[in-house]
């Protein structure tokens, strides 16, 4: 299990690095969806990582009440759209390089929280722990000298 976590720790910055150039030309959204019944309506909730195509990155959670659908509610659903070309879809919260949009959770069923930043920031934030782990895992010169007398 620990080895899997180390591999993920190294792959995450690589994924964010590859998304930097794509974030200026294509729309990508990855996340989880959840639906539940709440009286006469459904509550649709989702968590998203979103690159809207304008060089920014957003992470957010949103809940909204929706009318019941013909099919039953899905407790958990993976959702993704990868590298859609065309016009950029700027996020409504985007007002500057770093921004936070918070819609109040008024009745406990609707609301949103989005945090936006330049697309290079997730790479930098995920590369730091990976670099620290690699530095700690690599033997130092002093260790090498002590093993070879």
Rounded-to-integer distance, Cα 53 and Cα 51, Å: 6
Reference 36, options 28, 25, 44; nearest CA is 44
> Can you give the residue range of the structural domain that contains 69?
2-137
The answer to whether position 114 is within a domain reads yes
- 71: phi then psi, degrees, rounded to nearest 5: -90, 160
The answer to whether position 142 is within a domain reads no
Model pLDDT, residue 123: 94
Tokens of residue 105, six digits: 């959770």
The answer to whether position 22 is within a domain reads yes
Model pLDDT, residue 89: 63
Q: What is the mean pLDDT of each run of 10 residues along the chain (149 residues)?
A: 79 91 90 88 89 89 85 84 75 62 63 87 89 71 56
The answer to whether position 146 is within a domain reads no
Tokens of residue 49, six digits: 């990582």
The answer to whether position 87 is within a domain reads yes
Q: Count how many domains the chain has.
A: 1
Element (H, E) at 77: strand 77-84
CA angle at 43 for the pair 41 and 45, rounded to the nearest 5°: 160
Model pLDDT, residue 120: 92
CB 1 within 8 A of CB 114: no
16 Cβ contact partners less than 8 Å away, ≥ 6 residues apart: 122, 123, 126, 127
The answer to whether position 143 is within a domain reads no
Is this model's pTM higher than 0.85 or not? no
The answer to whether position 144 is within a domain reads no
The answer to whether position 122 is within a domain reads yes
Could you count the other beta carbons within 10 Å of the beta carbon of residue 83?
12
Rounded-to-integer distance, Cα 29 and Cα 56, Å: 12
């Amino acid at each position: 299990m620990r080895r899997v976590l180390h591999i993920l720790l190294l792959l995450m910055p690589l994924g964010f690095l590859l998304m930097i150039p794509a974030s200026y030309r294509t729309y990508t959204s990855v996340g989880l969806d959840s639906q539940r019944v709440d009286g006469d309506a459904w509550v649709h909730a989702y968590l998203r990582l979103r690159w809207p195509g304008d060089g920014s990155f957003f992470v957010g959670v949103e809940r909204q009440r929706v009318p019941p659908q013909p099919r039953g509610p899905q407790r958990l659903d993976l959702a993704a759209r990868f590298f859609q070309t065309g016009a950029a879809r700027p996020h409504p919260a985007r007002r500057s390089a770093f921004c936070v949009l918070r819609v109040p959770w008024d009745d406990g069923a609707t609301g949103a929280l989005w945090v936006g930043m330049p697309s290079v920031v997730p790479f930098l934030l995920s590369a730091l722990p990976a670099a620290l782990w690699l530095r700690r895992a690599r033997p130092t010169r002093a260790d090498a000298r002590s093993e070879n007398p």
